[in-house]
Amino acid sequence: MNILSLLAINTENVMKALEIMWKGVVAIFIVIALIIIVTKIVNKVCVSAETKHKERKEKETEQNQPKP
């Protein structure tokens, strides 16, 4: 006989709790992995774009400065 039924525990609820556990853990890590990947990509693109923009501005300022 099932130990859970001997202890008067609702087997259906236990199975549901186990289902929530594995599905929940998998889902949270999928969400987190996606957020990490997308954030890293976005940050890389944004930082390089900002650096290029800064360099271009610096060059423009240098060119606009009157030569002695």
Interface with another protein (CB under 8 A): 8-10, 13-14, 16-21, 23-25, 27-32, 34-36, 38-40, 42-43, 46-47, 49-50
Which residue, 32 or 59, is less far from another protein as judged by CB? 32
Which residue, 7 or 65, is less far from another protein as judged by CB? 7
Helices (H), the chain: 3-6, 11-64
- SS3 state of residue 58: helix
Check residue 8 and report its DSSP letter: T
Which residue, 28 or 65, is less far from another protein as judged by CB? 28
Q: Residue 11 in contact with residue 5, Cβ under 8 Å?
A: yes
